[in-house]
Structure 1
């Protein structure tokens, strides 16, 4: 796995994955967000010999080995939404994208090929802009086989908060690090 992380630009100088940038977002009454940090692992640069399919296979291998089930490839919906019964991870396969995380008043974040992003259950996300070749691989913890999709809606808020509190925390982040380091 270390070799794969290195080719994706996600290996630390010592051993293991890079430490992520951590962001938290307040509950805005429509999107609950969470006290768990959104994690952004920034790639130091993909191995230039990798094409998009090789990047996809690399992320699939690392995610699966870490207990995160690769699920689909695509983009992010262009409206604010979140998931209340699963955490979600993205590996950026190609291009770049700008997402708003945390809801209408959240933070704009740029992600690029090789980056990995972990959205705890309840974290709002929305596509703002992307290159023509922007493509993500999404993954979910092995025990979180179902996925809901909830738009920013105060009427859904309280029931969603109740579900979010019951979502299990994976032992490992999608790159193989111990999740307890990021989500104490």
Structure 2
């Protein structure tokens, strides 16, 4: 499933794509919730993109927790959904685990990963940096091995965020994720 749409962030229009991933090897992915990539969610011309992403995510109840790159090894988070706002540079990121889908992101883009979604930095240009945020009340972990059946059930039972990290109550998360509930 891949969809394209436009949703506003302030006066700008944000294009996004959403796609599903099936479990792959030791990476559970999330067969119920799509990955969402927002293109140019924040205009890179505004200057301090990291600060802009922190303010945007916090306003939408996804408290920012760090600024850094993406690990260059395959991993996923089983205890939290994750949003990554690209504040500097550009990169190719493997989504879905080893052999997964390669997506290109650049400054101003946002990558929304449901819990269980494998991701790994494949390559980058410039000083590639992202702002990482998670729904209020969720604490992230780093997993590099298969989940037990109990851990998988707990991952699928995570509460849905109340708001889309980019577009608040009107974004793709609300359209795709909440409809999957």
Q: TM-score range by the shorter chain?
A: 0.7 to 0.9
Query: Structure 1 CA distance, aligned partners of 2:86 and 2:157?
Result: 28
Gaps of 5+ in 2: 1-7
RMSD: 2.0
Equivalent residues of 2:81, 2:114 under 8 A apart = yes
Query: Structure 2 CA distance, aligned partners of 1:124 and 1:177?
Result: 26
Partner residue in 2 for 1:147: 140
Gaps of 5+ in 1: 13-17
Shift of residue 29 of structure 1?
3.4
Equivalent residues of 1:31, 1:157 under 8 A apart = no
Shift of residue 75 of structure 1?
0.8
Shift of residue 182 of structure 1?
2.0
Shift of residue 94 of structure 1?
0.9
Equivalent residues of 2:82, 2:115 under 8 A apart = yes
Shift of residue 177 of structure 1?
3.9
Aligned in 2, Cα 1:23/1:92: closer, same or farther, shift over 3 Å?
same
Aligned residues: 167
Instruction: Give the TM-score of the pair, scaled to structure 1.
Output: 0.83
Partner residue in 1 for 2:111: 117
Shift of residue 84 of structure 1?
0.5
Match of 1:39 among 33, 36, 60: 36
Partner residue in 2 for 1:15: none
Match of 1:174 among 165, 170, 175: 165
Match of 1:98 among 81, 92, 95: 92
Equivalent residues of 1:5, 1:62 under 8 A apart = no
Q: Which runs of 4+ in 1 moved over 6 A?
A: none
Aligned in 2, Cα 1:166/1:21: closer, same or farther, shift over 3 Å?
same
Instruction: Give the TM-score of the pair, scaled to structure 2.
Output: 0.85
